[in-house]
Amino acid sequence: MSKRQPKNQWVLGAVLLAAIVIVAILLAIRPPATFWFGVLRATGLLGYLAVFLSILSSLYLRELVRFFGRSFVQTHHIVALTGLGLLLVHPLAAVIVFRSLRWLLPQFGSLREFFTWGGPPALYLLILAILTAWQRRRIDGWRILHYGTYLAFFLATIHAILMGTDIQVLVTRIIVILLALAAAWVPVYRHWVSPSRGSS
């Protein structure tokens, strides 16, 4: 059997470019006060979109294999790791902008405070989910831990709505809510509506 040859890789680049253009437009509409505040906003938005795409990609295992000519895991992990990298820079930029390590720590003063500052727990859940997927051959029940991606996404969504500069615009808020609803539909569709989508 012939070895798969990667193809259509330009599509990933085109998606990344489109996301960068969208974020650049949002930054142009509300210009950041400083360079690092721009980095903070851009990495948050781009990382959020990348995690959404990694979640959505799990509905299209076979299609992505055929389209890109590489295993689903490779394509999925490229997107997921890109999102993780961006979301690692996001709180570090916040630390630089606001000169406080609080941006790296969950807050437990109240339920609203926890969700407002939901970025750090979302990030740590995402790191755990990606690490367990990377070591899936060594970890029993890794899929359960990997589902932390969904919880991380929803924590990030609430954090963005309550605190995100760019999400205060009505259009972007509606888009974020629609993305969250779409992400919630993915596991429902995979496991109850069309279980065959959950297996490669």
Please tell me the pTM assigned to this model.
Answer: 0.88
**HSE toward the beta carbon, residue 96, CA cutoff 13 A:** 13
CATH topology of domain 10-190: Four Helix Bundle (Hemerythrin (Met), subunit A) (1.20.120)
Using one digit for the tens of pLDDT, what is the confidence trace for 123-175? 999 999 888 888 788 887 788 888 889 999 999 999 999 998 888 888 889 99
Q: Residue 2 pLDDT > 70, yes or no?
A: no
The H or E element containing residue 200 is none
Q: What is the longest distance spanned by two Cα atoms in the chain?
A: 59
Q: Is the dihedral of CA 185, 55, 71, 142 positive or negative?
A: negative
C-alpha–C-alpha distance, residues 80 and 187, integer Å: 17
Contact between residue 91 and residue 104 where contact means Cβ atoms under 8 Å apart: yes
Identity of the residue numbered 140? D
What are the structural domain ranges in the chain? 10-190
Identity of the residue numbered 65? V
Contact between residue 97 and residue 91 where contact means Cβ atoms under 8 Å apart: no
70 backbone dihedrals φ, ψ, rounded to 5°: -140, 165
* 114: CB partners within 8 A, 6+ apart: 106, 107, 108, 121
Using one digit for the tens of pLDDT, what is the confidence trace for 61-78? 888 888 888 888 888 888
Using one digit for the tens of pLDDT, what is the confidence trace for 30-45? 999 999 999 999 999 9
